Structure 1
Amino acid sequence: MKAITIKQPWATLIALGEKKFETRSWQTKHRGPLAIHAGQSVDKGACEDIEIKLALKKHGITSYKELPTGSVVATAVIVECHKVIKDWCEFGVAETDKGSKIEGDEYWFGYYDEDCFAWELADVQALGEPVPAKGQLSLWNWEQ
């Protein structure tokens, strides 16, 4: 299965169903299953952002120390790769080449600079227990 390593807290936000787009500076042609791997590092500052803090708290996570690292935390399906064509940061809205508008918490959980890409995820399944794995850059193959 293809996998992507994502810094915390974003990997957990995906696993919890709070984040449905993964933003990258590069596009992918891959469509289909994807393992969500939580990297070794945690962006502690992001964990203090009010939107992220509230989303995590809703699921009983009150500290960045509770976030799993170095493990696969969920699986998902990449259904589309959108190119961001307009970032209305002052309004918290991004427009994509596919006619989608990304807004609300979803906007604040990603980086929607113009010419970046938003990978649309569906069918997210959190794993009951994180599965230890060594991450890599770009897309990589995860052997369960």
Structure 2
Amino acid sequence: MRALSIQQPWVDRILSGEKNIKYRSRRIKDMGPLLLHASKTVVPENFDGMEQADADRLPYGALVGVVDVVDVVPVEGEDLYEWRLAHPRRFAMPIPYKGAASIFKVPMADIKMYLRPLLV
């Protein structure tokens, strides 16, 4: 299954439904489900205005949910694409997993046993 690693707190905001657009420098050809991986990278500026306790509770270095890519639109005047996201599904428990740059593949055999009981 396709996956994308995203820094916190952005991945958390996608899964909570607060954020439904992701800007990327590349187009994605296939619409549909996309696993979301919470990156291990921590950028302090991403957490401006957040309590430290809230930032500390977020998962890092794990698959945390699934979202559907429903459309991709070029951003006028930019070398960017707006990925439109819908139907976020958060896993009840993060699945520790090593992320990668860009879209990466996660073999279903690696996560299949986790998927059913982890979707909330």
* TM more than 0.5: yes
**Structure 2 unpaired stretches of 5+:** 112-120
Q: In the alignment, what sits opposite 1:108?
A: none
Report the TM-score when normalising by structure 2: 0.82
Note if 1:84 corresponds to 2:75: yes
Root-mean-square deviation (CA, aligned residues, Å) is: 1.7
Q: How many residues align?
A: 108
- Is contact 1:42-1:64 (8 Å) kept? no
Counterpart for residue 92 of structure 2:
128
- TM (norm. structure 1) is 0.69
The letter for the 2-side match of 1:71 is A
Structure with greater strand percent: 1
1:99 paired residue number = none
**Hey, which bits of structure 1, 4+ residues long, moved more than 6 A?**
none
Check conservation: 1:44, 1:64, Cα contact below 8 A: no
Given the superposition, is the C-alpha separation of residues 63 and 44 from structure 1 closer, same or farther in structure 2, using an over 3 Å criterion?
A: farther
Give the alignment of 1:64-83 within 5 angstroms: 64-83=55-74
Unaligned runs of 5+ in 1: 87-113
The aligned runs of 1:17-56 (5 Å cut-off) are 17-48=17-48, 50=49, 53=50
